[in-house]
Amino acid sequence: MKLRTALLLLGSMMLCASQATASGAHKTPTAPADFLSKVSPIKADEADAAVLKEGGKIYTKKCAKCHGETGDGKGSAAGELTIKPMDMSAPGYMAGRKDGQLFWIMMNGSPNTDMKAFGPGSEQNYSEEEIWKVIAYMRANFTK
């Protein structure tokens, strides 16, 4: 009995250790080429106030709890996540991310993370247009 308890303990310790390593080594997957080359139909710096407002509404309601209001990744729910959201408010981060990358992750989610799919057919079921509006909002409001 004692040996079994010890083995169980050892097992759960090893599991914890492997999870810690996995999260430390996590790299955000890169969109496939056909997505990466996509360019948003909405230019963030020329977008209508109404378009940005609509994108902002979705962001505040669905994204900020993990990604934070400013995109810094410090939303109220972020602390509990094994794989944390990146700091998208870091200078140069958004500028270095292609429209197609942001769009792909929002459409499909990021496997084995809490980033779920938001695109058509997903539980959230946002249209492609709505997703581009959220991206425009992020580009217009996060540090570039």
The residues that touch ligand HEC, with contacts defined as CB under 6 A, are: 26, 28, 58-59, 62-63, 65-67, 77, 81, 83-86, 97, 101-102, 105-106, 110, 113-115, 118, 134
Task: Give the nearest distance from C-beta 44 to ligand HEC in angstroms.
Answer: 14
CB atoms within 10 A of CB 42: 20
Residue (35 or 59) nearer to ligand HEC, CB: 59
How many whole angstroms separate alpha carbon 103 and alpha carbon 120?
A: 12
How many whole angstroms separate alpha carbon 106 and alpha carbon 100?
A: 10
Residue (12 or 70) nearer to ligand HEC, CB: 70
Residue (15 or 22) nearer to ligand HEC, CB: 22
The angle that helices 99-108 and 128-141 make with each other, rounded to 10 degrees, is 130
Joined tokens for residue 59: 């962001």
CB atoms within 10 A of CB 41: 11
Residue (58 or 69) nearer to ligand HEC, CB: 58
Query: Helix, strand or coil for residue 60?
Result: helix
Task: Give the nearest distance from C-beta 35 to ligand HEC in angstroms.
Answer: 11
Task: Give the nearest distance from C-beta 3 to ligand HEC in angstroms.
Answer: 39
Residues in the chain: 144
Task: Give the nearest distance from C-beta 11 to ligand HEC in angstroms.
Answer: 27
Joined tokens for residue 139: 């580009």
Task: Give the nearest distance from C-beta 32 to ligand HEC in angstroms.
Answer: 13
Residue (2 or 111) nearer to ligand HEC, CB: 111
